[in-house]
Amino acid sequence: MSRLQSAFARARAANRAAFVAYVCAGDPDFETSLEICRALLANGVDILELGVPFSDPLADGLTNQLAAQRALEGGMTAARVFELVRRVREFSEAPVVFYTYYNLVFANGVDAYVRAARAAGVDGILTLDLPPEEAGELTAAGAAHGVDTVFIIAPTTPDDRIAPIAAATTGFLYYVSREGVTGVRAQVAGNIPQALARIRARTALPVVVGFGIGTRAQVTEVAAHADGVVVGSALVNCIRDHLGDRAGLGPAMAARAADLAAGVARPGL
């Protein structure tokens, strides 16, 4: 059983959703980013989703765009992102999933990139701008090197595309609950139960829900239906708010992660 499969199995056994936390690798610098990862994984995070910093993050709102900019200005490169994962592996066996754009994979050679990711300790790769119909090289490399693929389903995805998307996926399906870009929202999208029902009618893969989830109450609302809940911008905002207080950043992230993680539990059977 892979680390991702084990994480979802543990969550199911505990009658809860898996808590997936997103941060940008290297934000605001390498060592601080490593401590952020440590704080998250020690405080209820089941799956760590690392954004690979990119100069043109078209699926991301301003919060995550600025995080990528800080990471790039702090000297993050593809090699240093791999090094960050290797350092995380010194203290955690939690699954790590790259949240990235295909140009960053393609430019380095798809097979070479996936092989390097696996050697560093990466469990899955989500390429936001790569449709499954064009992902043959990536899925082949993932199968060859033991790296799971993750693909996106959106509110606008037609029913007849769900099965092909799921067929290219080996890790989990990421349901983007809102149209548009990442970012904290005042309310959770209202059609999540219906959307997950139509996805599950066509696949047995775990389905996580992200985009627009930023409070414990929102996590609880989504966890009632999803196999996993992704929180990103709310955590990245915590980094932003403590840029002038690096000593306080780790404790602040730990407290925020613990509060959010407490929301994934479901009512008793």
pLDDT of residue 178: 62
**137 among known catalytic residues:** no
Q: Please tell me which residue in 49, 148, 221, 227 is annotated as part of the active site.
A: 49
pLDDT, mean over the chain: 93
- Estimate the crossing angle of helix 30-41 against helix 246-261, to 10 degrees: 30
Tokens 């790769």, residue located: 125
User: Whole-angstrom distance between the N-terminal and C-terminal Cα of the chain?
Assistant: 26
Q: Which residue has the higher pLDDT, 34 or 56?
A: 34
Going by pLDDT thresholds of 50, 70 and 90, the confidence category of residue 262 is: very high
pTM as predicted: 0.94
Pick from 236, 240, 231, 150: nearest CA to 188: 231
Compute the residue count for the chain: 269
Contact (Cβ atoms closer than 8 angstroms) between residue 23 and residue 33: yes
Range scoring the smallest mean pLDDT among 86-90, 95-99, 136-140, 213-217: 213-217
Residues ≥6 apart with Cβ < 8 Å to 267: none
**227 among known catalytic residues:** no
Asked whether the CA dihedral 36, 37, 42, 48 is positive or negative, the reply is positive
Coil, strand or helix at 50: strand
Give the pLDDT mean for 169-174.
98
pLDDT for 173-232, tens place per residue? 999 986 444 444 555 656 899 999 999 999 999 999 998 899 999 999 999 999 999 999
pLDDT for 119-143, tens place per residue? 999 999 999 999 999 999 999 999 9
Residue ranges of domains in the chain? 3-264
Q: Please tell me which residue in 27, 35, 46, 60 is annotated as part of the active site.
A: 60
- Estimate the crossing angle of helix 110-120 against helix 78-88, to 10 degrees: 30
Q: CATH number of 3-264: 3.40.50.2000, 3.40.50.300, 3.20.20.70, 3.40.50.720?
A: 3.20.20.70
